[in-house]
Amino acid sequence: MRMSKIVRTGSDLMYPFIFIFGWYVIMHGHLTPGGGFQGGAVVATGAALVIVAYSYQEVNAMIKKAILMFQESGGLVLFIGAGLAGMILGFPFFYNWLANSGSLFGMSVIPGPNPGELNTAGFLPLMNIAVGTEVWGGLTIVILYMLSGVEKEGI
């Protein structure tokens, strides 16, 4: 069963903007309200829009469960790997050795009131990206299994 043409065209038009807004919330997690979990939930909302609008066969052709499972596991591995990377270099677990180092996300914070610089905070943006990827995959796969459980019965 699929929704009407109005719903399908609307979801096709809307979902790229929802994805971009979700990734904006993830990338600016260390500067503005929100972060990995919230941004991942917004991105999963965009995927849910497409899943609701189309039928089970069309969704199965568009979205692969194996990719989402890999995304979920990969996000968790990246999160733990970022924590363990400090231990290899002789620092405590989750030590933020990337901050103020001058490399990726390593700019020092500008003092005084300012809108904020994206290229700061060391590990925090990397962990937001890891959590965002993991929540995106996890919440999308929840809805995908709900759809396959409902529509496989042949109703």
Question: By C-beta, is 35 or 137 nearer to other proteins?
Answer: 35
CB of 124 to other proteins, least distance (A): 15
Pick the closest to residue 122 from 97, 144, 91, 140 (CA basis).
97
Nearer to other proteins, 51 or 126 (CB): 51
Residue carrying the six token digits 């979902």 = 15
CB of 34 to other proteins, least distance (A): 5
Is 47 within 8 Å of 92 (Cβ atoms)?
A: no
Nearer to other proteins among residue 114 and residue 153 (C-beta): 153
User: What minimum distance in Å lies between the beta carbon of 6 and other proteins?
Assistant: 14
Interacting residues with other proteins (CB under 8 A):
1, 25, 33-35, 37-38, 41-42, 44-45, 48-49, 51-52, 139, 142-143, 146-147, 150-151, 153, 155
Q: How far is the CB of 3 from other proteins (least distance, A)?
A: 9
Which residue, 25 or 130, is less far from other proteins as judged by CB? 25
CB of 91 to other proteins, least distance (A): 29
In terms of CB distance, is 20 or 104 closer to other proteins?
20
> For residue 149, how many other CB atoms are within 10 A of its CB?
9
Q: What is the DSSP string of 56-68?
A: HHHHHHH--HHHH
- The helix/strand count (H/E) of the chain reads as 5, 0
Determine the Cα–Cα distance for residues 67 and 85; give it in Å rounded to an integer: 26
Q: Which residue has the tokens 């979920």?
A: 72
